[in-house]
Structure 1
Amino acid sequence: MCSKEKKTVVHITTVHHPLDPRIYYKQCQSLQRAGYDVTLLAPDAEKVIPSSIVNIKSINRRNNRLLRIGISTLEAYWKARKLKADIYQIHDPELLPVAWLLKKKSNVVIYDIHEDYETAMMEREYLPKPVRRFCAKAYRLVERLFSRKLELCLAEKYYREKYPNGKCILNYPLVNEKLVHHNRTDKPIEDKLLYTGNVRVDRGAFHHAKLPLVDENISVHLIGQCPGNLAEQMEHLAGEAKDRLHMEGVDRYVPKTVIDECYVKHSWLAGIALFPPSDHFKKKELTKFFEYMSAGIPILCSDFPAWKAFVEKHRCGMAVNPEDEQEIKAAIDYLRNNEQEALKMGENGRRAVLETLNWEVEEQKLVEWYDTLWRKNEKTS
Structure 2
Amino acid sequence: MTRVCHLSSAHCGLDVRIFFKECVSLAEAGFDTHLVINATPLEVEKAAVKGVKLHPLRPISGRFSRMVQQAWQCYKLGKHLDADIYHFHDAELIPYGILLSLAGKKVIYDVHEDLPKDILSKDWIPRWARGKVAGAAGVLEHLGARSFFSIATATPFIARRFRLMNPKSMDINNYPLPDELARALAPVARKRQVCYVGGICRVRGIRPLIEALPLLPDMRLVLCGRFSEADFERELCALPGWGQVDYLGYVDRDTVGKVMAESMAGAVTLFPVPNYLDSLPIKMFEYMAAELPVIASDFPLWRQIINDADAGLCVDPQSPAAIASAIRRLADDPALIEHMGKSGRQAVLSSYNWPTEADKLIKFYKDLM
- Asked whether 1:222 is paired with 2:223, we answer yes
Whole-angstrom distance in 2 between the partners of 1:206 and 1:328: 11
Structure 1 residue 219 displacement after superposition: 1.9
- CA shift, 1:105, in A, is 7.6
- 1:108 to 2:106 alignment: yes
Instruction: Report the CA distance between 1:117 and its aligned residue.
Output: 1.4
Distance in 2 separating the partners of 1:155 and 1:207:
27
SS in 2 for 1:14: strand
Does the Cα contact within 8 Å between 1:274 and 1:300 map onto a contact in 2?
Answer: yes
Equivalent residue number for residue 354 of structure 1: 349
Is contact 1:225-1:254 (8 Å) kept?
no
* 1:71/1:221 CA distance change after superposition, 3 Å: closer
CA offsets 1:229-254 (integer angstroms, 9 cap, x no match): 433322333x2x443222221xxx32
Q: Which residue of 1 aligns with 2:277?
A: 282
How far is the alpha carbon of 1:94 from its aligned partner?
Answer: 0.7
User: Based on CA coordinates, which of the two structures has the bigger radius of gyration?
Assistant: 1
The reply to whether residue 262 of structure 1 matches residue 263 of structure 2 is no
Change in 2 beyond 3 A, CA 1:8/1:215:
same
Q: Contact between 2:109 and 2:152, CA under 8 Å: does it hold in 1?
A: yes
SS at match of 1:306: helix
C-alpha deviation, 1:22, in angstroms: 1.0
Measure the CA separation in 2 of the matches of 1:156 and 1:285.
Answer: 7
Match for residue 98 of structure 1 among 78, 96, 100: 96
Q: Does 32-41 or 97-106 show the bigger shift? A: 97-106
Note if 1:145 corresponds to 2:140. no
Q: Equivalent of 1:172, from 158, 169, 175?
A: 175
Provide the secondary structure at the position in 1 that maps to 2:12: coil
AA aligned to 1:107 is K
Distance across 2 between alignment mates of 1:344 and 1:350 = 10
CA-to-aligned-CA distance 1:316-350 (integer Å, 9 cap, x gap): 00101123444334323322333212211100111
Whether the aligned pair in 2 keeps the contact of 1:62 and 1:68 (CA below 8 Å) is yes
**Aligned partners of 1:346 and 1:183: how far apart in 2?**
15
Aligned CA distance change for structure 1 residues 191 and 43 (closer, same or farther; 3 Å): closer
Contact between 2:152 and 2:159, CA under 8 Å: does it hold in 1?
no
Report what 2:68 is aligned to: 70
Match in the other structure for 1:181: 184
Per the alignment, residue 210 of structure 2 pairs with 209
- In structure 2, the partner of 1:366 is 361
Is the CA contact 2:67–2:92 (under 8 Å) kept in the aligned structure 1? yes
Q: CA deviation at 1:155?
A: 0.8
Question: How far apart are the structure 1 equivalents of 2:357 and 2:85?
Answer: 19
Do the aligned residues in 1 keep the contact of 2:17 with 2:174 (CA within 8 Å)?
Answer: yes
Query: How has the CA–CA distance of structure 1 residues 99 and 338 changed in structure 2, closer, same or farther, with 3 Å as cutoff?
Result: same
Distance 1:315 1:81, change over 3 A: same
Equivalent residues of 1:204, 1:274 under 8 A apart? yes
Which letter maps to 1:160?
Answer: A
Change (3 A) 1:37 1:80: same
- CA shift for structure 1 position 46: 5.0
- With over 3 angstroms needed to count, the CA separation of the structure-2 counterparts of 1:325 and 1:69, relative to structure 1, is closer
Give the conservation status (yes or no) of the 8 Å contact 1:121–1:136: yes
**CA shift in 2, pair 1:257/1:229, >3 Å:** farther
Gaps of 5+ in 2: none
Structure 1 residues 338, 122: closer, same or farther in 2, change over 3 A?
same
Task: Give the percent of matched residue pairs that are identical in Structure 1 and Structure 2.
Answer: 27
Greater alpha carbon shift after TM alignment, 52-61 vs 363-372? 52-61
Report how many aligned residue pairs link the two structures.
360
Which one-letter code corresponds to 1:111 in the other structure?
Answer: Y
Which of the residues 285, 289, 295 maps onto 2:290?
Answer: 295
Distance change in 2, residues 1:146/1:236 (3 Å): same
Scaled by the length of structure 1, the TM-score of the pair is: 0.88
Q: Is the 8 A contact 2:9 2:37 kept in 1?
A: yes
- Which amino acid letter does the alignment assign opposite residue 309 of structure 2? H
Change (3 A) 1:128 1:72: closer
Deviates more, 1:35-44 or 1:172-181: 172-181
After alignment, is 361-370 or 102-111 more displaced? 102-111
| Correspondence 1:17 to 2:19 | no
- Mapped to 1, the partners of 2:21 and 2:122 lie a distance apart of 29
Paired residue type of 1:248: L
2:75 and 2:181 mapped to 1: Cα distance?
39
Write the deviation string for residues 11-55 of structure 1: whole angstroms up to 9, x where unpaired: 111111131111111111111111111111123465631351112
**RMSD value, Cα:** 2.1
Tell me the SS of whatever aligns to 1:280: helix
Aligned residue identity for 1:259: V
Q: What TM-score do the two structures reach when normalised by structure 2?
A: 0.90
Q: Structure 1 unaligned runs (5+)? A: 1-5, 375-381
Q: CA deviation at 1:109?
A: 0.6
Aligned to 2:26: 31
Q: Deviations over 1:256-310 (max 9, x none)?
A: 332222122x2x2311122222112122121111221122110011111111111
Contact 2:109–2:151 at 8 Å: present in 1 too? yes
Kept in 2, the 8 Å contact 1:45–1:57? The answer is: no
312-321 or 103-112: bigger deviation:
103-112
**Greater Cα shift, 158-167 or 137-146:** 158-167
